[in-house]
Amino acid sequence: METKLFLLILLLAFIMISGSFSATFTFENKCPYTVWPGILTNPGVPPFPSTGFELQNRASQSFNAQGWAGRFWARTDCTNTEKFTCATADCGSGQIGCNGAGAIPPASLVEMTMNGGANRDTDFYDISLVDGFNLPLSVTPQGGSGCKPVSCEADVNSLCPTELSVKGPDGNNIACKSACLVFNQPQYCCTGQFGSPTTCPPTNYSKIFKDACPQAYSYAYDDKTSTFTCPTGANYLITFCS
């Protein structure tokens, strides 16, 4: 009996160390239009089953991933004539799959690290507007203990200052750039003498994003109110236009 218990403990420890817990990621589109989710896997971890796909209004699609880390986003106003291109958050691959390319800012991002922490027993997740905003989104853990949903439900495009805005063909704002992207100055990018949490405070521009979406990252050092955790083993619902 003791031998069986010991072997079980060893097996559980191996599962945690090897990052072999898997999770189901369900993508749901509540936008009144089709979106094309993009996926970028971080270096050195198992790849996600897809790098990009089409998701029509009110549709959902699920994938299983194991020991994964990376980011999700949604592309909008995409066309596929000579090559696949999107008006916002395009990854520049020329195809529906991003194939290892990330989102071209501005883009609302979900960032995820499975099996993190010292004991590899914690999932870390956040919504990031550091690269700007193109649409609302949310992350809802399903299962797990004490796991908190996180969302950016506001339409930041409607609040976007003219100097940061991206206009569509009809003249309406379709995305909102970050101040770092527009001005490329250290105080907005948290670089140079502003390259630490103590020297790079929020700016008037980052506060626009933070006031609209208090749970989301608004600039590089916005960690205290923007990083969320869940015990490894939960599943996740990613909703666009939540």
pLDDT at 5: 47
CB 38 within 8 A of CB 84: no
Q: What share of the chain is helix, strand, coil (3-state, %, to 5)?
A: 20, 35, 45
Q: How confident is the model at residue 9 (pLDDT cuts 50, 70, 90)?
A: very low
Domains and CATH numbers, the chain: 24-240 (2.60.110.10)
Model confidence band, residue 2 (pLDDT cutoffs 50, 70, 90): low
pLDDT for residue 20: 53
Residue 60 has pLDDT above 50, yes or no: yes
SS3 category, 150: strand
Whether residue 201 is predicted with pLDDT greater than 90 in this model: the reply is yes
Angstrom distance (rounded) from CA 109 to CA 138: 10
147/8: higher pLDDT? 147
pLDDT score, position 17: 43
Pairing of strands 235-240, 22-29: parallel
As a whole number of angstroms, the distance between CA 229 and CA 158 comes to 30
Mean pLDDT of 154-182: 97
Measured CA to CA, the distance from residue 47 to residue 69 in angstroms comes to: 9
Task: Give residue 224's pLDDT.
Answer: 85
Which percentage of the chain shows pLDDT scores above 90?
85
pLDDT tens-digit readout, 99-144: 999 999 999 999 999 998 877 899 999 999 999 999 999 999 998 8
For residue 180, give the 3-state DSSP assignment: helix
Question: For the CA atoms of 41, 46, 49, 50, what is the dihedral angle to 10 degrees?
Answer: 20
